[in-house]
Structure 1
Protein backbone atom coordinates (compact mmCIF):
# COMPACT_ATOMS: atom_id res chain seq x y z
CA UNK A 1 0.00 0.00 0.00
CA UNK A 2 1.46 3.32 -1.04
CA UNK A 3 0.88 6.00 1.58
CA UNK A 4 1.56 9.61 0.53
CA UNK A 5 3.97 11.61 2.65
CA UNK A 6 5.27 15.14 2.83
CA UNK A 7 8.91 15.51 1.88
CA UNK A 8 11.15 17.66 4.04
CA UNK A 9 12.02 21.02 2.53
CA UNK A 10 15.80 20.86 2.97
CA UNK A 11 16.67 17.17 3.06
CA UNK A 12 15.68 14.37 5.37
CA UNK A 13 16.87 14.25 8.98
CA UNK A 14 16.01 10.67 9.93
CA UNK A 15 15.59 9.76 13.61
CA UNK A 16 15.77 6.01 14.31
CA UNK A 17 15.00 3.82 17.29
CA UNK A 18 13.56 0.44 18.20
CA UNK A 19 11.34 -1.00 20.89
CA UNK A 20 10.10 -4.39 21.98
CA UNK A 21 6.47 -5.38 21.55
CA UNK A 22 5.03 -8.38 23.37
CA UNK A 23 2.49 -10.21 21.25
CA UNK A 24 2.01 -13.43 23.21
CA UNK A 25 1.93 -14.06 26.93
CA UNK A 26 0.66 -12.58 30.16
CA UNK A 27 1.04 -9.02 31.35
CA UNK A 28 4.08 -7.79 33.27
CA UNK A 29 2.23 -7.34 36.56
CA UNK A 30 0.85 -10.90 36.54
CA UNK A 31 4.28 -12.36 35.77
CA UNK A 32 5.90 -10.37 38.57
CA UNK A 33 3.17 -11.28 41.07
CA UNK A 34 2.58 -14.97 40.23
CA UNK A 35 5.45 -15.92 37.94
CA UNK A 36 5.21 -16.63 34.22
CA UNK A 37 2.89 -19.51 33.29
CA UNK A 38 4.10 -19.84 29.73
CA UNK A 39 6.73 -18.39 27.49
CA UNK A 40 6.19 -14.82 26.39
CA UNK A 41 7.09 -13.82 22.85
CA UNK A 42 8.40 -10.47 21.68
CA UNK A 43 9.08 -8.73 18.41
CA UNK A 44 11.23 -5.69 17.81
CA UNK A 45 9.79 -2.67 16.02
CA UNK A 46 12.35 -0.43 14.29
CA UNK A 47 11.17 2.94 12.98
CA UNK A 48 12.70 5.94 11.28
CA UNK A 49 10.86 9.27 11.38
CA UNK A 50 11.40 12.59 9.66
CA UNK A 51 12.53 15.12 12.29
CA UNK A 52 10.72 17.96 10.52
CA UNK A 53 7.31 16.43 9.72
CA UNK A 54 7.34 13.64 12.38
CA UNK A 55 6.03 11.20 9.77
CA UNK A 56 7.14 7.58 9.97
CA UNK A 57 9.31 7.14 6.87
CA UNK A 58 10.69 3.64 7.44
CA UNK A 59 9.54 0.70 9.53
CA UNK A 60 10.71 -2.86 10.08
CA UNK A 61 9.59 -5.64 12.43
CA UNK A 62 12.13 -8.28 13.44
CA UNK A 63 12.55 -11.00 16.02
CA UNK A 64 13.83 -9.86 19.38
CA UNK A 65 17.39 -11.10 18.81
CA UNK A 66 18.17 -8.83 15.83
CA UNK A 67 20.44 -5.89 16.66
CA UNK A 68 19.33 -2.33 15.99
CA UNK A 69 22.33 -1.66 13.75
CA UNK A 70 21.61 -4.66 11.49
CA UNK A 71 18.29 -3.14 10.37
CA UNK A 72 19.63 0.23 9.14
CA UNK A 73 20.19 -0.96 5.52
CA UNK A 74 16.57 -2.15 5.38
CA UNK A 75 15.28 1.15 6.80
CA UNK A 76 17.36 3.25 4.40
CA UNK A 77 16.25 1.11 1.45
CA UNK A 78 12.64 2.18 2.13
CA UNK A 79 13.55 5.82 1.41
CA UNK A 80 13.36 7.04 -2.20
CA UNK A 81 16.76 7.05 -3.93
CA UNK A 82 16.31 10.65 -5.10
CA UNK A 83 15.66 11.96 -1.59
CA UNK A 84 18.61 13.66 0.10
CA UNK A 85 19.50 12.16 3.47
CA UNK A 86 21.01 14.98 5.53
CA UNK A 87 21.54 13.04 8.75
CA UNK A 88 20.64 9.92 10.68
CA UNK A 89 20.32 10.26 14.45
CA UNK A 90 20.30 7.18 16.66
CA UNK A 91 21.43 6.02 20.08
CA UNK A 92 24.68 4.25 20.91
CA UNK A 93 23.38 0.90 19.63
CA UNK A 94 23.91 2.24 16.09
CA UNK A 95 27.61 3.03 16.66
CA UNK A 96 28.92 0.36 14.28
CA UNK A 97 31.00 0.47 11.12
CA UNK A 98 28.23 -0.82 8.80
CA UNK A 99 25.81 1.88 10.01
CA UNK A 100 28.36 4.66 9.48
CA UNK A 101 29.17 3.28 6.01
CA UNK A 102 25.49 3.07 4.98
CA UNK A 103 24.75 6.63 6.10
CA UNK A 104 27.86 8.03 4.39
CA UNK A 105 26.97 6.08 1.21
CA UNK A 106 23.57 7.85 1.16
CA UNK A 107 25.31 11.22 1.63
CA UNK A 108 24.22 11.76 5.22
CA UNK A 109 25.92 12.58 8.49
CA UNK A 110 25.62 9.98 11.26
CA UNK A 111 24.70 11.66 14.57
CA UNK A 112 25.40 8.76 16.89
CA UNK A 113 27.10 9.12 20.26
CA UNK A 114 30.33 7.13 20.33
CA UNK A 115 30.84 4.54 23.02
CA UNK A 116 32.56 5.73 26.18
CA UNK A 117 35.71 3.73 25.38
CA UNK A 118 35.66 4.64 21.65
CA UNK A 119 38.95 4.99 19.81
CA UNK A 120 39.79 6.99 16.71
CA UNK A 121 39.58 4.81 13.57
CA UNK A 122 40.86 5.25 10.06
CA UNK A 123 38.60 5.35 7.05
CA UNK A 124 36.12 7.57 5.29
CA UNK A 125 33.18 6.09 7.20
CA UNK A 126 34.63 7.27 10.52
CA UNK A 127 35.28 10.96 9.78
CA UNK A 128 32.15 12.13 11.62
CA UNK A 129 32.59 9.54 14.37
CA UNK A 130 36.18 10.64 14.98
CA UNK A 131 35.04 14.26 15.17
CA UNK A 132 32.37 13.23 17.69
CA UNK A 133 34.95 11.38 19.79
CA UNK A 134 37.25 14.41 19.80
CA UNK A 135 34.38 16.76 20.68
CA UNK A 136 33.18 14.48 23.48
CA UNK A 137 36.68 14.37 24.94
CA UNK A 138 37.09 18.15 24.66
CA UNK A 139 33.61 19.34 25.63
CA UNK A 140 32.04 16.37 27.42
CA UNK A 141 29.23 14.14 26.18
CA UNK A 142 26.33 16.27 27.42
CA UNK A 143 27.62 19.46 25.77
CA UNK A 144 28.38 17.56 22.53
CA UNK A 145 24.82 16.19 22.49
CA UNK A 146 23.34 19.69 22.87
CA UNK A 147 25.75 21.18 20.32
CA UNK A 148 25.09 18.55 17.64
CA UNK A 149 21.30 18.45 18.19
CA UNK A 150 21.24 14.87 19.44
CA UNK A 151 18.33 15.50 21.81
CA UNK A 152 15.84 15.85 18.97
CA UNK A 153 16.07 12.06 18.96
CA UNK A 154 13.51 12.20 21.77
CA UNK A 155 10.93 12.88 19.02
CA UNK A 156 11.27 9.29 17.81
CA UNK A 157 10.80 8.10 21.41
CA UNK A 158 7.57 10.12 21.54
CA UNK A 159 6.38 8.63 18.24
CA UNK A 160 7.24 5.15 19.53
CA UNK A 161 5.14 5.81 22.64
CA UNK A 162 2.19 6.86 20.42
CA UNK A 163 2.46 3.63 18.45
CA UNK A 164 2.69 1.47 21.57
CA UNK A 165 -0.22 3.26 23.26
CA UNK A 166 -2.38 2.66 20.18
CA UNK A 167 -1.63 -1.05 20.16
CA UNK A 168 -2.15 -1.37 23.91
CA UNK A 169 -5.90 -1.83 23.52
CA UNK A 170 -6.07 -3.44 20.08
CA UNK A 171 -6.67 -7.17 20.08
CA UNK A 172 -7.84 -9.67 17.52
CA UNK A 173 -9.51 -13.01 17.96
Structure 2
Protein backbone atom coordinates (compact mmCIF):
# COMPACT_ATOMS: atom_id res chain seq x y z
CA UNK A 1 0.00 0.00 0.00
CA UNK A 2 2.64 2.66 0.87
CA UNK A 3 4.49 1.95 -2.38
CA UNK A 4 1.34 2.51 -4.44
CA UNK A 5 0.38 5.76 -2.70
CA UNK A 6 3.89 7.25 -2.66
CA UNK A 7 5.39 6.03 -5.89
CA UNK A 8 5.50 9.57 -7.31
CA UNK A 9 7.50 10.92 -4.37
CA UNK A 10 9.50 7.85 -3.48
CA UNK A 11 12.73 9.88 -3.43
CA UNK A 12 11.63 11.51 -0.17
CA UNK A 13 11.78 8.23 1.73
CA UNK A 14 15.23 7.04 2.67
CA UNK A 15 15.54 3.29 2.54
CA UNK A 16 16.81 1.69 5.72
CA UNK A 17 20.05 -0.25 5.61
CA UNK A 18 20.63 -3.45 7.55
CA UNK A 19 23.67 -5.44 8.56
CA UNK A 20 23.87 -9.19 9.16
CA UNK A 21 25.29 -9.78 12.63
CA UNK A 22 25.88 -13.54 12.31
CA UNK A 23 27.40 -13.66 8.85
CA UNK A 24 29.81 -16.55 9.56
CA UNK A 25 27.08 -18.87 10.85
CA UNK A 26 24.57 -17.81 8.22
CA UNK A 27 27.11 -18.32 5.44
CA UNK A 28 27.81 -21.83 6.71
CA UNK A 29 24.08 -22.62 6.82
CA UNK A 30 23.72 -21.57 3.18
CA UNK A 31 26.62 -23.85 2.23
CA UNK A 32 25.07 -26.78 4.09
CA UNK A 33 21.81 -26.36 2.19
CA UNK A 34 23.61 -27.39 -1.00
CA UNK A 35 25.58 -30.25 0.54
CA UNK A 36 24.84 -33.48 -1.35
CA UNK A 37 26.47 -35.76 1.24
CA UNK A 38 23.36 -37.83 1.99
CA UNK A 39 23.30 -40.74 4.40
CA UNK A 40 20.51 -42.71 5.98
CA UNK A 41 20.69 -42.66 9.76
CA UNK A 42 20.46 -45.90 11.78
CA UNK A 43 17.04 -44.79 13.02
CA UNK A 44 15.73 -44.55 9.45
CA UNK A 45 17.29 -47.91 8.58
CA UNK A 46 15.66 -49.56 11.59
CA UNK A 47 12.22 -48.13 10.77
CA UNK A 48 12.42 -48.68 7.00
CA UNK A 49 10.34 -51.84 6.99
CA UNK A 50 6.68 -51.68 7.97
CA UNK A 51 5.50 -53.40 11.10
CA UNK A 52 3.45 -56.52 10.59
CA UNK A 53 -0.23 -56.17 11.27
CA UNK A 54 -2.56 -58.77 12.71
CA UNK A 55 -5.59 -57.99 10.54
CA UNK A 56 -6.50 -59.84 7.37
CA UNK A 57 -5.00 -58.85 4.01
CA UNK A 58 -1.58 -58.35 2.54
CA UNK A 59 1.26 -57.17 4.72
CA UNK A 60 2.79 -53.75 3.99
CA UNK A 61 6.46 -53.82 2.99
CA UNK A 62 7.49 -50.20 3.52
CA UNK A 63 6.80 -47.95 6.49
CA UNK A 64 5.45 -44.42 6.18
CA UNK A 65 8.90 -43.15 7.14
CA UNK A 66 10.50 -44.83 4.13
CA UNK A 67 7.89 -43.36 1.78
CA UNK A 68 8.38 -39.88 3.27
CA UNK A 69 12.15 -40.21 2.92
CA UNK A 70 11.93 -41.11 -0.77
CA UNK A 71 9.42 -38.39 -1.59
CA UNK A 72 11.46 -35.80 0.30
CA UNK A 73 14.61 -36.63 -1.66
CA UNK A 74 12.63 -36.44 -4.89
CA UNK A 75 11.35 -32.95 -4.09
CA UNK A 76 14.72 -31.67 -2.86
CA UNK A 77 16.48 -32.73 -6.05
CA UNK A 78 13.48 -32.05 -8.32
CA UNK A 79 13.17 -35.60 -9.63
CA UNK A 80 10.12 -37.51 -10.89
CA UNK A 81 9.14 -40.70 -9.11
CA UNK A 82 11.05 -43.05 -11.42
CA UNK A 83 14.27 -41.07 -11.02
CA UNK A 84 13.64 -40.89 -7.27
CA UNK A 85 13.43 -44.69 -7.18
CA UNK A 86 16.79 -44.95 -8.93
CA UNK A 87 18.36 -42.27 -6.73
CA UNK A 88 17.35 -43.95 -3.46
CA UNK A 89 18.34 -47.36 -4.84
CA UNK A 90 21.85 -46.10 -5.62
CA UNK A 91 22.10 -44.54 -2.16
CA UNK A 92 21.14 -47.82 -0.47
CA UNK A 93 23.65 -49.66 -2.64
CA UNK A 94 26.47 -47.25 -1.77
CA UNK A 95 25.74 -47.70 1.92
CA UNK A 96 25.72 -51.48 1.59
CA UNK A 97 22.29 -51.82 3.22
CA UNK A 98 19.98 -54.77 2.82
CA UNK A 99 16.88 -52.68 2.14
CA UNK A 100 14.22 -52.86 -0.55
CA UNK A 101 13.44 -49.60 -2.34
CA UNK A 102 9.81 -48.78 -3.16
CA UNK A 103 9.09 -48.46 -6.87
CA UNK A 104 7.50 -45.40 -8.42
CA UNK A 105 3.98 -46.85 -8.42
CA UNK A 106 4.24 -47.61 -4.70
CA UNK A 107 5.44 -44.07 -4.01
CA UNK A 108 2.49 -42.66 -5.96
CA UNK A 109 -0.07 -44.92 -4.28
CA UNK A 110 1.26 -44.51 -0.75
CA UNK A 111 1.75 -40.77 -1.15
CA UNK A 112 -1.99 -40.14 -1.25
CA UNK A 113 -3.16 -39.19 2.23
CA UNK A 114 0.24 -39.86 3.79
CA UNK A 115 0.55 -38.55 7.35
CA UNK A 116 3.91 -36.93 7.97
CA UNK A 117 5.54 -37.22 11.39
CA UNK A 118 5.38 -33.71 12.83
CA UNK A 119 8.11 -32.37 15.07
CA UNK A 120 6.89 -31.29 18.48
CA UNK A 121 7.29 -27.58 19.06
CA UNK A 122 9.62 -26.74 21.92
CA UNK A 123 7.94 -25.11 24.90
CA UNK A 124 10.77 -22.59 25.10
CA UNK A 125 9.90 -21.11 21.70
CA UNK A 126 7.30 -18.85 23.33
CA UNK A 127 4.11 -17.50 21.78
CA UNK A 128 3.58 -17.42 18.03
CA UNK A 129 3.35 -14.28 15.93
CA UNK A 130 1.49 -15.66 12.94
CA UNK A 131 1.44 -14.22 9.41
CA UNK A 132 -0.95 -15.97 7.01
CA UNK A 133 -0.92 -15.65 3.23
CA UNK A 134 -1.69 -17.71 0.13
CA UNK A 135 -0.33 -18.15 -3.39
CA UNK A 136 -1.04 -20.23 -6.48
CA UNK A 137 0.91 -23.28 -7.62
CA UNK A 138 0.71 -24.68 -11.14
CA UNK A 139 -0.42 -28.25 -11.68
CA UNK A 140 -0.32 -30.69 -14.57
CA UNK A 141 -2.74 -29.68 -17.32
CA UNK A 142 -3.17 -27.65 -20.47
CA UNK A 143 -3.03 -24.33 -18.65
CA UNK A 144 -4.28 -20.84 -19.37
CA UNK A 145 -1.92 -20.22 -22.31
CA UNK A 146 -3.44 -22.99 -24.46
CA UNK A 147 -6.93 -21.94 -23.41
CA UNK A 148 -6.36 -18.29 -24.35
CA UNK A 149 -4.33 -18.99 -27.49
CA UNK A 150 -6.49 -21.64 -29.13
CA UNK A 151 -9.78 -20.98 -27.33
CA UNK A 152 -9.84 -24.50 -25.93
CA UNK A 153 -11.54 -25.55 -22.74
CA UNK A 154 -9.10 -26.66 -20.08
CA UNK A 155 -9.51 -30.27 -18.99
CA UNK A 156 -8.89 -29.36 -15.37
CA UNK A 157 -7.99 -26.45 -13.16
CA UNK A 158 -4.44 -25.43 -13.87
CA UNK A 159 -3.42 -24.34 -10.36
CA UNK A 160 -3.92 -24.95 -6.66
CA UNK A 161 -3.90 -22.50 -3.79
CA UNK A 162 -1.20 -22.90 -1.14
CA UNK A 163 -1.95 -21.42 2.29
CA UNK A 164 0.98 -20.82 4.64
CA UNK A 165 1.24 -19.54 8.19
CA UNK A 166 4.67 -18.14 9.11
CA UNK A 167 5.88 -17.78 12.68
CA UNK A 168 7.70 -14.44 12.85
CA UNK A 169 9.54 -15.48 16.01
CA UNK A 170 11.20 -18.69 14.77
CA UNK A 171 10.98 -18.10 11.00
CA UNK A 172 9.41 -21.54 10.51
CA UNK A 173 6.19 -22.40 8.73
CA UNK A 174 3.74 -23.17 11.53
CA UNK A 175 0.84 -24.38 9.39
CA UNK A 176 0.15 -25.18 5.75
CA UNK A 177 -2.70 -26.37 3.58
CA UNK A 178 -3.36 -26.93 -0.12
CA UNK A 179 -6.82 -26.29 -1.54
CA UNK A 180 -8.49 -25.84 -4.88
CA UNK A 181 -8.55 -22.37 -6.39
CA UNK A 182 -12.22 -21.92 -5.46
CA UNK A 183 -11.53 -21.98 -1.71
CA UNK A 184 -11.23 -18.51 -0.22
CA UNK A 185 -8.66 -17.52 2.36
CA UNK A 186 -11.15 -17.11 5.26
CA UNK A 187 -12.63 -20.53 4.46
CA UNK A 188 -9.23 -22.24 4.72
CA UNK A 189 -8.27 -20.42 7.92
CA UNK A 190 -9.94 -22.77 10.49
CA UNK A 191 -8.05 -25.82 9.22
CA UNK A 192 -4.81 -23.85 9.27
CA UNK A 193 -5.30 -22.75 12.86
CA UNK A 194 -6.08 -26.33 13.94
CA UNK A 195 -2.45 -27.20 13.14
CA UNK A 196 -1.09 -24.65 15.65
CA UNK A 197 0.23 -26.32 18.80
CA UNK A 198 1.05 -23.14 20.70
CA UNK A 199 -0.42 -19.82 21.82
CA UNK A 200 -0.88 -17.20 19.12
CA UNK A 201 -0.52 -13.68 20.53
CA UNK A 202 -0.40 -11.84 17.22
CA UNK A 203 -2.14 -12.49 13.89
CA UNK A 204 -1.40 -10.56 10.68
CA UNK A 205 -3.16 -11.09 7.35
CA UNK A 206 -4.14 -9.08 4.28
CA UNK A 207 -7.54 -7.66 3.46
CA UNK A 208 -8.80 -10.94 2.00
CA UNK A 209 -9.35 -12.20 5.57
CA UNK A 210 -11.61 -9.24 6.30
CA UNK A 211 -14.43 -11.22 4.73
CA UNK A 212 -16.93 -10.47 2.06
CA UNK A 213 -19.04 -8.24 4.32
CA UNK A 214 -17.12 -7.74 7.56
CA UNK A 215 -14.13 -9.09 9.42
CA UNK A 216 -15.95 -10.23 12.55
CA UNK A 217 -16.03 -13.99 11.67
CA UNK A 218 -12.24 -14.10 11.41
CA UNK A 219 -11.77 -12.07 14.61
CA UNK A 220 -14.33 -14.17 16.46
CA UNK A 221 -12.55 -17.37 15.42
CA UNK A 222 -9.17 -16.08 16.61
CA UNK A 223 -10.58 -14.88 19.93
CA UNK A 224 -12.33 -18.21 20.45
CA UNK A 225 -9.13 -20.22 19.85
CA UNK A 226 -6.49 -17.98 21.44
CA UNK A 227 -8.33 -15.69 23.84
CA UNK A 228 -9.29 -12.04 23.92
CA UNK A 229 -5.68 -10.87 24.25
CA UNK A 230 -4.70 -11.93 20.73
CA UNK A 231 -3.60 -8.95 18.63
CA UNK A 232 -5.36 -9.04 15.25
CA UNK A 233 -4.04 -6.92 12.38
CA UNK A 234 -6.24 -7.09 9.27
CA UNK A 235 -6.75 -3.99 7.10
CA UNK A 236 -10.40 -3.20 6.32
CA UNK A 237 -11.30 -2.14 2.76
CA UNK A 238 -11.72 1.49 1.77
CA UNK A 239 -15.50 1.09 1.72
CA UNK A 240 -15.66 -0.36 5.24
CA UNK A 241 -18.21 1.26 7.56
CA UNK A 242 -18.61 1.15 11.32
CA UNK A 243 -21.09 -1.24 12.86
CA UNK A 244 -24.30 -0.09 14.53
CA UNK A 245 -22.76 -0.52 17.99
CA UNK A 246 -19.47 1.21 17.17
CA UNK A 247 -20.09 4.06 19.60
CA UNK A 248 -20.89 2.10 22.74
CA UNK A 249 -19.39 -1.34 22.05
CA UNK A 250 -16.92 -1.17 19.13
CA UNK A 251 -15.60 -4.39 17.64
CA UNK A 252 -11.97 -4.99 16.71
CA UNK A 253 -12.84 -4.12 13.15
CA UNK A 254 -14.48 -0.89 14.27
CA UNK A 255 -11.31 0.06 16.12
CA UNK A 256 -9.21 -0.50 13.01
CA UNK A 257 -11.58 1.56 10.87
CA UNK A 258 -11.55 4.41 13.40
CA UNK A 259 -7.75 4.39 13.60
CA UNK A 260 -7.45 4.61 9.81
CA UNK A 261 -9.95 7.44 9.63
CA UNK A 262 -8.09 9.35 12.34
CA UNK A 263 -4.45 8.97 11.26
CA UNK A 264 -4.61 7.54 7.76
CA UNK A 265 -3.93 4.09 6.42
CA UNK A 266 -0.16 4.51 6.24
CA UNK A 267 0.09 5.62 9.86
CA UNK A 268 -2.06 2.66 10.91
CA UNK A 269 0.22 0.25 9.05
CA UNK A 270 3.26 1.60 10.91
CA UNK A 271 1.64 1.69 14.34
CA UNK A 272 0.04 -1.76 14.03
CA UNK A 273 3.09 -3.49 12.54
CA UNK A 274 1.13 -4.55 9.46
CA UNK A 275 4.25 -4.12 7.32
CA UNK A 276 5.59 -7.35 8.88
CA UNK A 277 3.21 -9.14 6.51
CA UNK A 278 5.86 -8.72 3.81
CA UNK A 279 7.80 -11.53 5.48
CA UNK A 280 4.94 -13.86 4.60
CA UNK A 281 5.16 -12.79 0.97
CA UNK A 282 8.91 -13.39 1.11
CA UNK A 283 8.22 -16.92 2.33
CA UNK A 284 6.00 -17.48 -0.70
CA UNK A 285 8.81 -16.37 -2.99
CA UNK A 286 11.21 -18.64 -1.13
CA UNK A 287 8.85 -21.58 -1.68
CA UNK A 288 8.73 -20.99 -5.44
CA UNK A 289 12.50 -20.56 -5.67
CA UNK A 290 13.46 -23.62 -3.60
CA UNK A 291 10.55 -26.06 -3.99
CA UNK A 292 9.27 -24.78 -7.33
CA UNK A 293 6.28 -22.87 -8.76
CA UNK A 294 4.40 -26.01 -9.78
CA UNK A 295 3.33 -29.35 -8.33
CA UNK A 296 4.58 -32.59 -9.88
CA UNK A 297 1.85 -34.87 -8.50
CA UNK A 298 -1.21 -35.47 -10.68
CA UNK A 299 -3.93 -36.28 -8.10
CA UNK A 300 -5.13 -33.86 -5.44
CA UNK A 301 -4.35 -36.13 -2.43
CA UNK A 302 -0.77 -36.58 -3.69
CA UNK A 303 -0.49 -32.83 -4.24
CA UNK A 304 -1.48 -32.18 -0.63
CA UNK A 305 1.24 -34.59 0.52
CA UNK A 306 3.75 -32.86 -1.75
CA UNK A 307 2.87 -29.50 -0.17
CA UNK A 308 3.36 -30.89 3.35
CA UNK A 309 6.75 -32.32 2.42
CA UNK A 310 7.74 -28.99 0.87
CA UNK A 311 6.92 -27.30 4.17
CA UNK A 312 9.05 -29.84 6.04
CA UNK A 313 11.99 -29.18 3.68
CA UNK A 314 11.86 -25.41 4.14
CA UNK A 315 11.68 -25.78 7.92
CA UNK A 316 14.71 -28.08 7.89
CA UNK A 317 16.64 -25.45 5.94
CA UNK A 318 15.58 -22.82 8.45
CA UNK A 319 16.90 -24.98 11.27
CA UNK A 320 20.35 -24.88 9.70
CA UNK A 321 20.58 -21.17 10.45
CA UNK A 322 18.94 -17.82 9.79
CA UNK A 323 20.36 -14.38 9.20
CA UNK A 324 20.07 -11.89 12.06
CA UNK A 325 19.82 -8.23 11.10
CA UNK A 326 20.28 -4.91 12.76
CA UNK A 327 19.57 -1.44 11.42
CA UNK A 328 22.71 0.56 10.66
CA UNK A 329 21.11 3.64 9.07
Which band: TM-score by shorter chain?
Answer: 0.7 to 0.9
Which residue in 2 is equivalent to 1:84?
199
* Cα deviation, residue 94, structure 1: 0.3
Bigger shift: residues 86-95 or 30-39: 30-39
What residue is the counterpart of 1:146 in the other structure?
A: 270
Gaps spanning 5+ residues in structure 1: where? Answer: none
2:130 is aligned, of 5, 8, 14, to: 14
SS in 1 for 2:258: helix
Across the aligned residues of Structure 1 and Structure 2, the Cα RMSD in angstroms comes to 2.6
The 1-side partners of 2:223 and 2:295 are apart by 39
Using the size of structure 2 for normalisation, the TM-score is 0.46
Quote the residue 1:167 is aligned against: 292
Tell me which protein shows more helix as a share of its residues. Answer: 2
Q: Quote the residue 2:172 is aligned against.
A: 55
Where relative contact order (Cα < 8 A, 6+ residues apart) is larger, the structure is 2
Task: Pick from 111, 115, 140 the counterpart of residue 24 of structure 1.
Answer: 140
State the SS of the aligned residue for 2:251: helix
Distance (Å, rounded) in 2 between the aligned partners of 1:151 and 1:117 = 21
Deviation at 1:101, TM superposition (A): 0.7
Q: Deviation above 6 Å: which 4+ runs of structure 1?
A: none
Q: Hey, what's the Cα distance between the residues in 1 that align with 2:186 and 2:272?
A: 21
Change (3 A) 1:42 1:49: same
Query: What number of residue pairs does the alignment pair up?
Result: 169
Which sits farther off after the overlay, 4-13 or 94-103?
Answer: 4-13
- Unpaired segments of 5 or more residues in structure 2? 1-116, 299-329
Distance 1:172 1:16 in 2: 25
Whole-angstrom distance in 1 between the partners of 2:140 and 2:151: 12
Q: What is the CA-CA distance between 1:139 and the residue it aligns to?
A: 0.8
8 Å Cα contact 1:13/1:85 also seen in 2: yes
